[in-house]
Structure 1
Amino acid sequence: MDAARLKQSWSLVAAHGDQVPLYFYSTLFLAHPETRQMFPTNMAGQRDRLVTALGHIVSNVDQVDRLVGFLQDLGADHRKFAVRAEHYPAVGEALLATLQHFLGEQWTDELAQDWAGAYGLVSQVMIEAAQAAEAVNPPWWVAEVIGHERRAFDVAVLTLRPQYLLPFTPGQSIGVSHPSVRSWRYYSPANAPRADGTLELHVRAAPGGAVSSRLVYGSAVGDQLHLAAPVGDRLSLWSAGSADLLLLASGTGWAPVKALVEQHRHGVIPSAGAEAKLPAAKEVNLLSAAQREAEQIIAQAHDYARRVAEYARVQYESYVQAAAEEAKQEAERAVQDYRSAAGSSFDDGVATREALRIYGEMMISHMQAAARHLDDGSEHLARTMDRLVGQAGTAVRAGAGQGALPRHQQR
């Protein structure tokens, strides 16, 4: 296997940009349609991840020590997509077909052998890592939503109770997915591990974000979510020794900081790579990246109102599209069930009326739910604007005794 040849050929293929993942996934899904259900409905983000992962693998193909850990994490993580060992050959076929397509005459037998050998090693490491992880953790945890509190129009605090204990270290991120959305997003729990195993997540709905929007706007107490194994340790707090600790955050970024503070409260922090406990920092200082002067508060109120309007537009469009697709699928399923049951007595008129009835009822239900969400959003907006106005008044009163600045000093 010639590492230099692999790198050079990949650079030529990667130059074709978005066409590469588009061709790859089209080839994969056409040849193996059963794999489509493993991927999200919206493939835009997935296409970027494919190119990024392949680029990382190829660029480190001659540095096995650095690559193995990445592949092991990737293999273990892919279990949450229900990827099994028998799926890897299909992916390999699609990859080689994609490379051949974009390299054209530069695709040689020697290069094909190089790529086949490289993919064989990659898939072997990932499969073995997935099998090893299977003995330790499930592909995902099922968790029940036992608390859902809207803190702002686009922010919610969710309390989850996993079916089984999900071990994690404060500062790590946990994959979260709603069963109706074939996508995952990672969030850092806002609490240190608890005796009852519950988790607290702070979620802000991102424009067009399928998972975050579903968690904020479309989840309620009693719903079930899927959680993936925790990853990352760059935010984990190991030992500050005798030094003071400064924690800086803003917005929902306070979630992992809150978990670290809870961990610190216990008085000891686990040391990296050792079982011994090390003393925690003497003093913890929290610094919020927020300003409360009147001008900043007014700007914040204006920006908040603008974002609310944009969120409402994007989320409503996304919600309607998803609702229409769900209603369409349900109507088609009803027609198929009727066709199977009716046999030779199948009547197109009856099927059409039943499909229209189901579609109409589901769309009406979805529109009513959307209206309720918009009403909730209006109430949250009103309360938030009242709070901001109150803060602005406080800031103005606090500065009243200082006197106005001379005109040439005002900004």
Structure 2
Amino acid sequence: MTVYFYAILFARHPEVRPMFPPGMDAQRGRLLRALLRIVELVDDAGSLVRFCGHLGRDHRKFGTLSAHFPAVGECLLASLARYAGPAWTAEIAAAWTKAYGAVAEAMISAAEQDEAVRPAVWPATVVHRISRGHGIAEITVRPHTAYEYAAGQYVSVETPWWPKQWRYYSPANAPREDNTLTLHVRAVAGGSVSSALVHRATVGSVIRLGPPMGDMVLDAATFGNLLFVAGGTGLAPIRALVEEVARRGERHQVDLFLGARTGDELYGVDDMLRMAQRYHWLTIRGAVSHEHIPGLRGSLPEVLAEFGPWYDHDAYLSGPAPMVVSASETLTLGGTSPDRIHHDPFETPVLSLP
């Protein structure tokens, strides 16, 4: 359905084709997830408007204009009708027409409000980079103009080597006075943006940032006790949240669990241990699932269950989707309220909120 949608969109409205990357596989997946999310939220008006607002603001970086929405709606309805077959009744057509109108209105409104207060993209120069091993690079960039975000949020990144291809990363630091952001990037097989950042970006390279997004921020917490759980490069936003706790000087007791398959893959643990020595309220434990080493052995959810329950904590989870899902289930079974469990969305963040 999504292949057909983009085919007729580009055939009927060729002027929009340059807005998209040459390879459309990722884009088609995002469209499908967005449609599924809209259906899922159809009876939750507040969440639907918030989701569409995220979409509208994020689409500014593609050059999307309000004039584009009728063309997209026309082709989307035609695609749905073609693949729904006999299920596409007049009633269903009317419902989707109304739904698309609501989505478009919310996206356009959010984009217009956003345009009044900030740019669509921020050029940023790489000012420092170091290798962390295992295909991970720590890249620090300085946006050319002020870039306001909150610790725990994520940003989209475009490189000069792959124009119009954006990927999402979480800054590994709370906001700094010098306006720099540090990103932890793992080169993924077949990942054009991640590979470019790890293997091609050097000091002086200029990338582009989209607007900061996400709700995994400290202000969402209600308890004084915090549980942070990080797997792999999911450590980045968790590290930023630890910095934010320290920056605010609030009275939080923080338990941090780091997980990896092997001891060598527990990247960043030395840095976090130094932070624990500096901040008496921070306790760190590591969990290794595929190697026998001294210390804790097992998956993160298993270790969490061993040291729980955590029902009097706000939990912040970041890392591979299976780990986040499993850890969420473990916490819920232990009595943690679901609204106290905060995590980044999976895959393309803006298109699949928690």
Change (3 A) 1:285 1:99: same
| SS in structure 2 of the partner of residue 172 of structure 1 | coil
| SS in structure 1 of the partner of residue 172 of structure 2 | coil
Q: Could you list the runs of 5+ residues in structure 1 that have no partner in the other structure?
A: 1-19, 270-278, 297-411
Matches within 5 A, 1:2-401: 20-152=1-133, 154-181=135-162, 182-234=164-216, 236=218, 243=225, 245-269=226-250, 279-281=251-253, 283-290=281-288
- Aligned partners of 2:152 and 2:217 also within 8 Å: yes
Change (3 A) 1:163 1:121: same
Deviates more, 1:102-111 or 1:68-77: 102-111
1:292-321, CA deviations, whole angstroms, 9 ceiling, x for partnerless residues?
97779xxxxxxxxxxxxxxxxxxxxxxxxx
Residue 241 of structure 1 and its aligned partner are, at CA, apart by 5.8
Change (3 A) 1:246 1:116: closer
Aligned partners of 1:112 and 1:292: how far apart in 2?
Answer: 52
Larger Cα-atom Rg: 1
Residue 108 of structure 1 and its aligned partner are, at CA, apart by 4.4
Q: Which amino acid aligns with 2:49?
A: V
1:271-303, CA deviations, whole angstroms, 9 ceiling, x for partnerless residues?
xxxxxxxx343711122334897779xxxxxxx
Aligned partners of 2:175 and 2:87: how far apart in 1?
Answer: 54
Q: How many residues align?
A: 267
The structure whose residues are more often helix, as a share, is 1
Q: Which amino acid aligns with 2:129?
A: H
Change (3 A) 1:293 1:114: closer
Residue 95 of structure 1 and its aligned partner are, at CA, apart by 0.6
Q: Which amino acid aligns with 1:45?
A: A
Change (3 A) 1:43 1:292: closer
Q: Percent identity?
A: 45
Q: Which amino acid aligns with 1:202?
A: H
1:248-287, CA deviations, whole angstroms, 9 ceiling, x for partnerless residues?
4343222222212222222535xxxxxxxxx343711122
Could you tell me the TM-score, scaled by structure 1's length?
A: 0.60
The structure whose residues are more often strand, as a share, is 2
1:176-225, CA deviations, whole angstroms, 9 ceiling, x for partnerless residues?
11133222111111111110100111100111112111111121111111
Please give the root-mean-square deviation of Cα atoms over the aligned residues, in Å.
2.5
| SS in structure 2 of the partner of residue 195 of structure 1 | coil
Q: Which amino acid aligns with 1:287?
A: R
Aligned partners of 1:160 and 1:231: how far apart in 2?
Answer: 18
Q: Which amino acid aligns with 1:139?
A: A
Aligned partners of 2:245 and 2:34: how far apart in 1?
Answer: 36
1:231-257, CA deviations, whole angstroms, 9 ceiling, x for partnerless residues?
1122546557654x5534343222222
- Aligned partners of 1:249 and 1:288 also within 8 Å: no
| SS in structure 2 of the partner of residue 151 of structure 1 | strand
Aligned partners of 1:83 and 1:177: how far apart in 2?
Answer: 16
1:134-192, CA deviations, whole angstroms, 9 ceiling, x for partnerless residues?
11221111111111222225111111000111111111111111133222111111111
- Aligned partners of 2:150 and 2:217 also within 8 Å: no
Q: Which amino acid aligns with 2:285?
A: L
- Larger relative contact order (C-alpha < 8 A, sep ≥ 6)? 2
Aligned to 2:256: none
Aligned partners of 1:85 and 1:158: how far apart in 2?
Answer: 35
- Aligned partners of 2:159 and 2:207 also within 8 Å: yes
- Aligned partners of 2:158 and 2:167 also within 8 Å: yes
Change (3 A) 1:51 1:196: same
| SS in structure 2 of the partner of residue 54 of structure 1 | helix
Change (3 A) 1:190 1:101: same
